[in-house]
Structure 1
Amino acid sequence: MTEQIPNISPPAFGVSREIPSGSPFKKQRLNAALVRCLCAVAFCAGLLFFVYLWVHDGAIVNLVAKPEGPLKYPGTLTGLISADLMFVQVVLMARIPCIERSVGRDRLVRIHRLSGFASLNLMLAHIVLLTTSYVVRDGRSMLGSLWWMIAEWRGMMLATLGTVLLVIVGITSSRAARKRLRYHSWHLLHLYTFLGIGLVVPHMVWAGSEFKRPWTQVCIVGLYVVTLGSLLVFRVAVPVLRSMRHRIVVERVVEDAPGNVSVHLRGRGLDKLRAQAGQFFIWRFRDGRGWTRGNPYALSAPPRGDVLRITAKEVGVNSSRLRMLRPGTRVLFEGPYGRFTGESRHGRKLTAMACGIGITPLCALLKDLDYAADEAVLLYRASSENDFVLRRELDELAQERGVRIVYLPGHRARGRASWQTEHAGEEDHIALQELVPDISEHDIYICGPDAWGRSAADAARRAGAPAKHIHLERFAF
């Protein structure tokens, strides 16, 4: 372990003062809480709507009145709830700005993943239960009943194809599959979710007895249109219009460390984006074949006027292309996204914990946030001394603003999940308490690989930091 404890000099900016109770950050947190509350209400309302349709169709009476009832009507309910979760998935993927800022990318990804697998499992249960119910009613075989449903029911051919696509997406979304897939390959496969949902949902209106009434058809079609519309507006129309308006281009490319490059970008009117340190964009550089693949990169410096900067490690085809970008290359973008910003802050003291390239949003935050000379700590782990990215800028922060920086060179611990290096002898939370004795008074910003980030967050909780003070941004998809 090496530690740099700088000579403290007056901070270049960020005068020490308490955050007032009526500060914009407090108001923004209240607004975020309101949005989260409204999202929860909307989710419950949607769920209750589908359950109401199921009850209103006589499901409870028929559950015991018909021989196939104990199988058919639970199967119908699982299908309805699965459809509701499909709509939820699309809304989560639409990146609606107020939801993105209020809930946060990390939490949205987890909710999306859980709702996706729940929806897929319920849909498969729907198929099995309905097919079995017709085996009981008609005496057919399982395959015979399944083929009869596909061949005779309106829209079932499309629904079958949609189901196959959703199963493929579900398989490739498992942790084991994601470890073997490059980001853009996984992302391309993930887009089939939209097509699968588009093929599955129509058969509900055509074949479901719950949607025989005109008002129920209007409701489900309206829900379908609004959900799809939000996706087209916020994932297609808004990014295209913003890219045309702000005309971002590459200004220059700089190598910060072996295998790491920073791309300096310039545009017009970028202050209107209201981007903040700690946020990320999805970038598409028009540098030739394959430019349509979007890649998420966080800002590695606070937005200043019409200038932005990102920093990336060359670990794949797309990130390696950054080095070859030429000045003037046009850029398309989506964003800004995420709530890994100062808006989440509860006090003045902060601890930043970074692993590898996870330093990029934390470097931007440390430059941007307001704190006194003894109120900020950075714990930075990397594989070796040469792998510390943006080290010159970090050392300048230590000298100019009094950030206490602890560099932790060394490979990750083997056989256990830990934020420390392989040679660390103490438990994670004890080591953290020794490095930051007043950790319970700090906001902790954590950014790095998934397993490392989870172990760092767990150590912070065990060290006494309140859960609401822990802000986690994981590099995972």
Structure 2
Amino acid sequence: MTTLSLTRPRVLARTGLYTVLGANVALVTVLFADAGPSADPLISIGRLFGMFGALLMAFQLVLIARLSWLDRRLGMDRLTSLHRWTGFGVLWLLLGHMVFIVFGYANLSDTGPVDELVTLATTVEGILQAIVAFVLILFVGAASARFARRKLAYETWHFIHLYTYLAVVLAFSHQIFEGSSFVGNPFARAYWWTLWGGALGAVLLGRVILPLWRNFRHRLRVAAVVPESDQVVSVYVTGRNLDQLPAKAGQFFIWRFLTKGRWWAANPFSLSAAPDGKSLRLTVKALGDGSASLRHIKPGTRVFAEGPYGAFTTMHQTKQNALLIAGGVGITPIRALLEEIRGHVVLFYRVNKHDDAVLLQELDELARSRGAMLHLLAGPVNAQDAHGNQLLSAKNVAGLAPDVWDRDVFVCGPPPMTNAVLRSLRELGVPRDQIHAERFSLAS
């Protein structure tokens, strides 16, 4: 099988997304032109910005709908990144929409922009909803900025993001009342209803219907809780018909353990063993109150799991052999991949000290059973080998895996480690299609 055919899932999904978006941009431009010019050029520019902003907002909903077909091919990392950058586009387009519209009408009425904004908000139906929607989008955008995201708990950030749906409803109601391409044009009305209905339907399907159906079907429960070390614990989950759950090694679920104090907390944890149709296993390090409390979960506890998610799977393997690189508890999806991945495997496990290497005995046994090579790279952040090279430098990677150019490379660990490995692989000239990275901050 050729490299091209093996990489087609990701290329197909990316091409499909951009093609659909491009076609809609063209159609919205046609609808704008068909509506004709406004009384002031600034109003026309504002209208165009508003229409493109509405289109991007609908596209954003599709990106976060967690549709299985897209997620398996692109991964939540890429979809979330694209969603984030699209969000900046929505913000600037809606800001431009508001500014140009207000200044345009201010020119016509010969008043100041602030007075005109107040007049529009108090006299024109749908304008106040649009202003509230814009404020909500600003609020969500501020909470999503990197400095804010680092300080917010996952649950808090997730709750704030729910206001996006209220903003969408308010923005659409504004479009119904005031959209020039909507009012009086049956085709335009059908298009926008279909666009928004499809986007919201995708969210409903991926975020509500499918998770509810899978949890009703599989009835997940905690089977056992096994301490791996003082700070690391493995949780075994069983249920009905798990052989029909479409989970792959390297993927993760968003887990809720339905106890009195934890039912509201949702955390993304990777599978730490390949699914066998009988049980699922996650292995978690105590990095916060939520993950630390898993040690005290009792067998029999009901579990609500959303997923499986992630493109960090053998679906994207393009070569016969593989190099797996893990850092810290990023070993969990790598440990699962070691069971499923094809061909000869070399595994680098990067830890600060030997005692941090969780699941090491399992890894050693599994590596020996399948003829893989396991390298434990222990030492502080700036540790060097005998030749003065950083442990994950390009020279060290090539020294431990001399045929790295003929392997797929799967990388999972904390962002600084992952970024360092990606730099080394770029320095070595490993083709991008052979590099697969999962961000530890999202999926572990």
TM-score relative to the length of structure 1: 0.87
1:210 counterpart SS class? coil
The one-letter amino acid of 1:405's match is L
1:251 deviates by 0.5
Instruction: Name the residue aligned to 1:467.
Output: 432
Name which of 96, 105, 113 aligns with 2:67. 96
Instruction: Name the residue aligned to 1:317.
Output: 289
Q: Deviations over 1:258-278 (max 9, x none)?
A: 311110011111111121100
* Residue 83 of structure 2 is aligned to residue 116 of structure 1: no
1:451 deviates by 3.3
Query: How far apart, CA to CA, are the structure 2 residues paired with 1:149 and 1:380?
Result: 61
Q: Deviations over 1:258-314 (max 9, x none)?
A: 311110011111111121100111111111134133211111000112211011111
Query: How far apart, CA to CA, are the structure 2 residues paired with 1:26 and 1:308?
Result: 33
Q: % of aligned pairs identical?
A: 36
1:423 deviates by 11
Task: Call closer, same or farther: CA 1:350–1:386 in 2, change over 3 Å.
Answer: same
Name which of 388, 395, 400 aligns with 1:430. 395
**Does the aligned pair in 2 maintain the 1:135–1:141 contact within 8 Å?**
yes
1:381 counterpart SS class? strand
1:422 deviates by 11
Q: Deviations over 1:36-81 (max 9, x none)?
A: 333222111221222111111124xx5xxx5x31x22222211111
Equivalences for residues 363-382 of structure 1 within 5 A = 363-371=335-343, 375-382=344-351
* Residue 148 of structure 2 is aligned to residue 177 of structure 1: yes
1:181 deviates by 1.1
Instruction: Name the residue aligned to 2:189.
Output: 217
1:424 deviates by 9.4
Name which of 348, 372, 386 aligns with 1:403. 372
Q: Deviations over 1:453-472 (max 9, x none)?
A: 22212211221211000001
1:445 deviates by 0.2
1:251 counterpart SS class? strand
The one-letter amino acid of 2:217's match is R
Name which of 277, 284, 292 aligns with 1:305. 277
Moved more, 186-195 or 33-42: 33-42
1:437 deviates by 1.8
**Does the aligned pair in 1 maintain the 2:7–2:318 contact within 8 Å?**
no
**Does the aligned pair in 2 maintain the 1:439–1:464 contact within 8 Å?**
no
Task: Call closer, same or farther: CA 1:391–1:31 in 2, change over 3 Å.
Answer: closer
Query: How far apart, CA to CA, are the structure 2 residues paired with 1:27 and 1:312?
Result: 36
Task: Call closer, same or farther: CA 1:455–1:155 in 2, change over 3 Å.
Answer: same
Instruction: Name the residue aligned to 1:206.
Output: 177
Query: What runs of 5+ residues in structure 2 fail to find an aligned partner?
Result: none
The one-letter amino acid of 1:236's match is V
Q: Deviations over 1:307-333 (max 9, x none)?
A: 110111111222122111110011111
Instruction: Name the residue aligned to 2:25.
Output: 47
Task: Call closer, same or farther: CA 1:425–1:199 in 2, change over 3 Å.
Answer: farther
The one-letter amino acid of 1:346's match is T
Query: How far apart, CA to CA, are the structure 2 residues paired with 1:190 and 1:421?
Result: 43
* Residue 330 of structure 2 is aligned to residue 362 of structure 1: no
Instruction: Name the residue aligned to 1:269.
Output: 241
* Residue 417 of structure 2 is aligned to residue 452 of structure 1: yes
Equivalences for residues 4-403 of structure 1 within 5 A = 21=1, 29-31=7-9, 33-59=11-37, 68-69=40-41, 71-212=42-183, 213-371=185-343, 375-403=344-372
Q: CA RMSD in A?
A: 2.1
TM-score relative to the length of structure 2: 0.93
**Does the aligned pair in 1 maintain the 2:7–2:433 contact within 8 Å?**
no
The one-letter amino acid of 1:44's match is G
Query: How far apart, CA to CA, are the structure 1 residues paired with 2:6 and 2:399?
Result: 33
**Does the aligned pair in 2 maintain the 1:261–1:323 contact within 8 Å?**
yes
Task: Call closer, same or farther: CA 1:125–1:410 in 2, change over 3 Å.
Answer: farther
The one-letter amino acid of 1:426's match is N
The one-letter amino acid of 2:403's match is D
Query: How far apart, CA to CA, are the structure 2 residues paired with 1:356 and 1:452?
Result: 10
Query: How far apart, CA to CA, are the structure 2 residues paired with 1:262 and 1:460?
Result: 32
1:27 deviates by 6.6
The one-letter amino acid of 2:328's match is G
Q: Deviations over 1:23-45 (max 9, x none)?
A: xx987754554343332221112
Query: How far apart, CA to CA, are the structure 2 residues paired with 1:43 and 1:454?
Result: 30
Q: Deviations over 1:162-206 (max 9, x none)?
A: 211110110111111111111111111112111111211220121
Moved more, 164-173 or 154-163: 154-163
1:384 deviates by 2.0
